[in-house]
Amino acid sequence: MRTPPRFDRGHTDDLMSFLTASPSPYHAVANAAERLEKAGFRQVAETDAWEGAHGGKYVVRGGAIVAWYVPEGAEPHTPFRIVGAHTDSPNLRVKPRPDSGAHGWRQVAVEVYGGPLLNSWLDRDLGLAGRLSLRDGTSHLVNIDRALLRVPQLAIHLDRSVTTEGLKLDKQRHLQPIWGLGNDVRDGDLIRFLERESGLAEGEVTGWDLMTHSIEPPSYLGRDKELVAGPRMDNLLSVHAGTAALAAVATCDAALLSIPVLAAFDHEENGSQSDTGADGPLLGSVLERSVFARGGTYEDRARAFAGTVCLSSDTGHAVHPNYAERHDPTHHPRAGGGPILKVNVNNRYATDGSGRAIFAAACEKAAVPFQSFVSNNSMPCGTTIGPITAARHGIKTVDIGVAILSMHSARELCATEDPFLLGNALMAFLEG
């Protein structure tokens, strides 16, 4: 048995590359799959019959990926150890009829996805990325990673009240980006442009899932470069760490007592209720089929699920130096202090005392410090895929993550060390 190498600063460097290359959930899944392929994993189709042979496999469905590694000697009732995450981030998404404009400006009609900090999308150079669905039933990833769009803010001279009453944005009227000049707005202009950029024939695209992204790349920040600023850390930071941890465990011939799994879902930011979301059937279907492919019965499936544990990894809130009163006075997670354990007694997070013990053991094994996050009682917290996973599948689930600032901004902030500390904790957890 070889011990997987510990992640270090190089992991954070790779995270920055992953963020840049993943402007949409579809790109994030493709990049995670590419990393897993290099570690020996192979894609299986949901429409095919599955074999129970050992080794690494993964399923891709839209903006979601589930990957698992079956070690030598695994029984049908062998439990799973799951790292859960999500691939989507709040942003502006293109409407079915995108071509619009007024007063000599050409614009793109967008809809607000999730709960973004709207002001963070103003006066920022934006690209366009996502998935094009073609006439022949296939799909094509597109990424226009250059200054294509911009949502211009109103000049202060035309709205003096902004200095006294604050910025007020109407989601329908004030967030439609500009992408050119002209009064000759024609239906199909944007899609024809994307077809040309993608080398596709005109009229080949019949559907699309497109979204804006900031083209500014991630960067180190601070006197000693102890911080990282970048887009989509919520929650590609966890997708990247989970992918790296699974690949490392699978390539080191570890004597695994469980089957390590990565489950990265889409649509967490708007409720997870889709065929690629955590509230859909994807994870349960993959785990069950893995059991049955190894000759298992329903009894084996029940035994495997009963012994399964999921770490739901999503970013959380570091204490904000300018708004410390918004946090619980006895729980101040700090950037650079290691991953956070999220607790909420009203089950907005799935962690309980036994789950804390499981995570503490993984962190102790990895020599990684961890912190606890609890919301201020006067400010109800958000939620994650954790409670959904626990309730839908009857799986012991623990909510964790990395503490960041500016969550849901077009550009977020974390400590340089925290991504690889999370990666090391996840690797220790997957090893069992």
> Tens of pLDDT along 62-118?
999 999 999 998 999 999 999 999 999 999 999 999 999 999 999 999 999 999 999
Q: Which residues contact 116 (CB under 8 A, 6 or more apart)?
A: 90, 91, 92, 408, 409, 410
Instruction: Return the closest-CA partner of residue 10 out of 431, 389, 366, 417.
Output: 417
Confidence tier at 183 by pLDDT (50, 70, 90): confident
Q: What pLDDT, on the 0 to 100 scale, is given for residue 185?
A: 87
| Sign of the CA dihedral with 27 first, then 34, 21, and 6 last | positive
Q: What pLDDT, on the 0 to 100 scale, is given for residue 236?
A: 98
Q: Mean per-residue pLDDT for 372-388? A: 93
pLDDT, tens digit, 9 for 90 and up, residues 400-409: 999 999 999 9
- Say if CB 172 and CB 107 are below 8 A apart: no
Q: What angle, 0 to 180 degrees and rounded to 10, lies between the N-to-C axes of helices 418-431 and 353-366? A: 110
- Is the confidence at residue 336, as pLDDT, over 80? yes
Average pLDDT, the chain: 96
Give the number of other Cβ atoms within 10 Å of residue 380's Cβ. 11
For 215-361, list the strands marked E by DSSP.
219-221, 227-230, 259-265, 309-313, 316-317, 340-342
- Give the residues across from 127 on adjacent strands: 213
Q: What pLDDT, on the 0 to 100 scale, is given for residue 255?
A: 79
Distances (CA, A) of 263 to 148, 326, 365: 33, 32, 23
- Is the confidence at residue 22, as pLDDT, over 70? yes
Q: What pLDDT, on the 0 to 100 scale, is given for residue 120?
A: 97
- Is the confidence at residue 253, as pLDDT, over 80? no
Distances (CA, A) of 222 to 19, 163, 229, 233, 246: 20, 29, 10, 18, 31
Predicted TM-score (pTM) of this structure: 0.96
Residue the block writes with tokens 């889709």: 274
Q: What pLDDT, on the 0 to 100 scale, is given for residue 252?
A: 82
Most distant CA pair in the chain: distance in Å? Answer: 72
Pairing of strands 309-313, 80-86: parallel
Q: What pLDDT, on the 0 to 100 scale, is given for residue 3?
A: 66
Q: Which tokens hold the place of 363?
A: 């962190």
Alpha helices in 21-121, H assignment, sequence order: 25-38
* Chain mean position to CA 166: 31
Q: What pLDDT, on the 0 to 100 scale, is given for residue 184?
A: 84
Phi, psi angle pair for 385, to nearest 5°: -75, -5
Please state, in angstroms and rounded to a whole number, the distance separating the CA atoms of residues 361 and 269.
Answer: 30
Considering the chain, what percentage of its residues have pLDDT values greater than 70? 99
pLDDT, tens digit, 9 for 90 and up, residues 121-160: 999 999 999 999 999 999 999 999 999 999 999 999 999 8
Sheet containing 80-86, strands listed edge to edge, beginning at the edge strand earlier in sequence: 42-43, 55-61, 64-70, 259-265, 80-86, 309-313, 396-401, 340-342, 371-373
Please state, in angstroms and rounded to a whole number, the distance separating the CA atoms of residues 142 and 130.
Answer: 6
Q: Is the peptide bond before 322 cis (omega within 30 degrees of 0)?
A: no
Phi, psi angle pair for 234, to nearest 5°: -90, 95
Q: What pLDDT, on the 0 to 100 scale, is given for residue 128?
A: 98
Confidence tier at 5 by pLDDT (50, 70, 90): confident
